[in-house]
A = this chain, B = another copy of it.
Amino acid sequence: MSILVVGSVAFDSIETPHGKRERCLGGAATHFALAASFFTDVRVIAVVGDDFTAEHEAVLTRRGIDTRGIEHLPGKSFHWSGSYLKSLNDAETLNTELNVFETFQPKIPDAYADSQFLFLANIDPVLQANIRSQMRGVKMAFGDTMNYWIDDHRENLLKVLRGLDGLLINDGEAKLLAGETNLVRAAKAIHALGPKTLIIKHGEYGATAFFAENVFGADRTHPFRAPALPLETVVDPTGAGDSFAGGFFGYIASQGEMTPAVVKRAMFYGGVMGSFAVESFGTERVQALTRDEIDARFAVFEELSRLE
């Protein structure tokens, strides 16, 4: 089933211990869509400027991604500059230019109206709420957010959360959102805000899914933990979380519904796509990926975590 994703399509200037890239294709919706495209049909809502060329668009369309919802405006695309020289675990933002995103009023093409899965990638919760209200009929809506929106736009974010079936965030974001240092209690607090499925990402340690009682029934509320692959070399962490989300939600959409077995495999696929994303700068690795490589790495994840 089709996923509609809304989020940034952007250019990133990135500095890591492995080198530098100026204005490579990035953005949460880009990384999400590329990862999800290996599992299901993906449609993108975003806004770009004159600097987004046919060649950039082809990176998406070559993977079968529907880009009719990417609006082209005069001006420059969103541009983020960041450095991982101090730590590969935390990006230091050097500069953020919203550019055409500043006045973005998302419109949903008619061709997208029948999308059954909705993913609200990390953008202003006002835009997330706007899209959510235009897509009331979806079967399942998941989203992402970050510290900035949790801290400074909490009221707007809380409105979005009430309309989400699931949320994918990291440890620090979960604790900040819940005002709670224990992850189990943080998960309960976040369930109460709306998302009954909560995926907390632990970076190099994997991810945990927490389920409220009404997801799979009161007798199936225990969490699930998926591993991350220990990697000897991380070239560029940018987009790892969005690629995780794309693999995770792409697999769920491909199965049409979320059973315990589906969500567990989805978390493995999330980890698989995140592990590829960090192997090269920007979208380089994921755009060159094959389904065979994905399946082979899925087997490595199983080997990594399965009792014999």
Judged by a CB distance under 8 angstroms, whether A63 is at the interface is no
**Which residues of chain B are near A291, meaning CB under 8 Å?**
none
Would you call A230 and B184 a contact (CB within 8 A)? yes
Would you call B232 and A182 a contact (CB within 8 A)? yes
Judged by a CB distance under 8 angstroms, whether A225 is at the interface is yes
Judged by a CB distance under 8 angstroms, whether A62 is at the interface is no
Would you call B204 and A303 a contact (CB within 8 A)? no
Identical chains bound together, number: 2
- A222-280 interface (Cβ within 8 A of B): 222-227, 230-234, 260-261, 264-265, 268
**Which residues of chain B are near A300, meaning CB under 8 Å?**
222
- A72-105 interface (Cβ within 8 A of B): 88
Supposing A183-B230, A231-B184 touch, asked if A260 and B308 sit within 8 A by C-beta, the answer is: yes
A302 to B233: give the CA distance in the assembly, Å: 30
Binding site for B on A (CB under 8 A): 88, 181-185, 187, 202, 204-206, 208, 210, 222-227, 230-234, 260-261, 264-265, 268, 300, 302-308
Closest 4 CB pairs of A and B: A205-B205, A184-B232, A225-B227, A261-B308
Inter-chain pairs besides A222-B303, A225-B230, A306-B306, 12 sampled, C-beta below 8 Å? A184-B231, A202-B205, A222-B300, A223-B304, A224-B305, A227-B305, A261-B307, A261-B308, A264-B306, A264-B307, A268-B307, A306-B307
